[in-house]
Amino acid sequence: MKNISRIIVAILILAMTLPMVLSCAETGSTGETTAPAATEAPDSGAAETTAEETLFAKSDIPEDLRFDGTTVKILYWDDVPNLEFFADAQTGEAVNDAIYRRNAKIQEQFGVELEFTGTPGDNSDMGSFVNVCVNSTQAGADAHDLFCGYSMTGATLMTRGVTQNLTDYEIMEFDKPWWPKSLISKATIRDGIYFASGDISTNFIHMMYLVMFNKDMLTNIHNIGADALYELAYNGEWTLDKFIEFTDSVYLEQDGDNVASEGDRYGAVVTNVHFDPFYAGSGLTTVDVNSDGDLVLSPDLFSQKTVDLLEKLCNLLHVSGNAYIKKSEPIFAAGNALLIVDRPYIITRSLTDIDFNFGILPIPKYDKDQDHYRTCLGFGYTMYMLSTAANNPEAAAATIELMAYQSYLNVTPALFEESMKMRYADQSDDSFMFDLIRDGVEIDIARLFTTQLDKMSYSIFRNAVNGNTAGSYISQQKAFEKNLNRKITDINAGFDNLK
């Protein structure tokens, strides 16, 4: 059964996601604020991977497309969590070198120069970043062509009228697997896509929510191997009920203080900022886009399904005794938790020196009738935007597309290998799981408009789980709907600025 399931999943992934190619593993970090891109082509002696030589999806970018002598000016947030935009030189570190070669490939293929300028732009500096972008549109010949900012800045810059509709450019291939399907289904505003992310952003991959599990503890406690969990995922049966079932009776008092504390053993550890993926993973939304391209309040938010989800989570996290929510990452890293919900980001941060084996799984479905696995993203990834003042818009749009494609081919596999310490091309169980997770990422429009929605994109559900208030959740419906609808009306008014 396992082998049959693997074959079916492989066929589905090749058909739908056509996953990525081989690279090696290590990471780099960036502290630069302004830097030129690498200008050298890849080493002539190095084997160069092409789509034709692999089973992976092929780009339709014309091979003879050139913008000789053009400079593409890129403004990026330089406090990005992980290396993403450029590398000064090849160092032998896989992610660093994949980014270096990606940029060199763009410059060689198009005959362009990539000019990067950094400025702070994380959560605390979003306003400043937006202002720099808006001011750039008044700079004439010195204007930037591309804005690359913290995920929430895309929506703000769009409503400020300083980003272009990327679908106006024929070269953009949003039907290809290096772009999330939900960009079209969930983030199309007034028939346009004004910001985009996916494989183009290393931090997009770092921020995908998933489940990690301790393989050794699974065997010791439940007397089964990791294959049992992988099989559930392959068969579409990795559900919230199964997640809860595997936490049952796992709690063990270990540190002698006779209270549930960080030193004890748990079935699951999930801190309050990581409750959101359970909502997204159940196929629920806070805000949708209607047929007119306007935002509307989702009927999911106060549905019976959401209430039922809250009841299950509150029972697991507050009543069962098998879960811990005050801390998660250090407990899992110490080998004291079977399951953790977090992002791949923590693997290289906390799980590089552990004495147990771990694997990855998608965020569980609400039930087995759900059509596919879904997940959301942490906020610390990049949205790529084309400025309305771009001096070289065609070259800039082509740069976005080729950057995304080359990242899909080489950078993302390097990230997987860095995190999981195994070759992506070997197609292990975890690499299949990685594809399922990546294919199910939802670009949640509400999370992108978190600033404008006064954080209600996530806080309503998150606070209900954290406060164990499933029983009184519906009593807040009218007040929250009134506030949300007022914010949504203001957001829709801002769409009149779209260009």
pLDDT tier at 348, thresholds 50, 70, 90: confident
For strands 337-342 and 210-214, give the pairing.
antiparallel
Considering the entire predicted model, what is its pTM?
0.88
DSSP state of 213: E
Mean pLDDT, rounded, for 90-96: 94
Gap between the Cα atoms of 14 and 51, Å rounded: 13
Least confidently predicted of 36-45, 140-149, 162-171, 214-223: 36-45
What is the H or E stretch that residue 114 is in? strand 112-119
pLDDT at 144 over 50: yes
Residue 192: alpha-carbon gap to chain centroid = 21
31: DSSP letter: -
Closest CA relative to residue 432, chosen from 176, 135, 201, 231: 231
On the question of pLDDT at 485 being above 80, the answer is: yes
Q: How far apart are CA 231 and CA 126, in angstroms?
A: 43
Lowest mean pLDDT among 35-49, 59-73, 273-287, 346-360: 35-49
Look at residue 427 in the predicted model and tell me its pLDDT.
79
Instruction: Give phi and psi for 324, each to the nearest 5.
Output: -135, 135
| Whether 99 contacts 54, CB under 8 Å | no
pLDDT value of residue 8: 43
Closest CA to 274 of 323, 346, 343: 343
Q: What does the alpha-carbon distance between residue 48 and residue 169 come to, in Å, rounded to a whole number?
A: 28
Q: What is the mean pLDDT of residues 367-385?
A: 96
Looking at residue 7, its pLDDT comes to: 43
Sorting pLDDT into bands at 50, 70 and 90, what band is 480? very high
Is the pLDDT reported for residue 32 higher than 50? no
What share of the chain has pLDDT > 90, as a percent? 80
Indicate if the pLDDT at residue 26 is higher than 70. Answer: no
| pLDDT recorded at residue 412 | 94
φ/ψ of residue 319, rounded to 5: -115, -40
Domain annotation for the chain: domains and CATH numbers: 21-206+379-426 (3.40.190.10), 210-376+444-487 (3.40.190.10)
Q: How confident is the model at residue 55 (pLDDT cuts 50, 70, 90)?
A: low
Identify the pLDDT of residue 21.
36
Residue 10 has pLDDT above 80, yes or no: no
Q: How confident is the model at residue 422 (pLDDT cuts 50, 70, 90)?
A: confident
Is the pLDDT at 380 greater than 60, yes or no? Answer: yes
Q: How far is CA 367 from the centre of its chain?
A: 23
Check residue 213 and give its pLDDT. 98
Q: What is the spatial distance between Cα 375 and Cα 286, in angstroms, rounded to a whole number?
A: 14
DSSP string for 426-438: G--HHHHHHHHHH
- Mean pLDDT rounded to a whole number for the chain: 89
Would you say residue 236 has pLDDT above 60? yes
d(CA 433, CA 253): 32
How confident is the model at residue 50, as a pLDDT?
40
pLDDT at 169: 98
With left for phi above 0 and alpha for psi between -120 and 50, is residue 236 left, alpha or beta?
left
Segment 36-65 shows an average pLDDT of 57
Residue 471 confidence (pLDDT): 95
Query: Lowest mean pLDDT: which of 8-17, 114-123, 425-434?
Result: 8-17
Dist CA 353 CA 334 (whole Å): 10
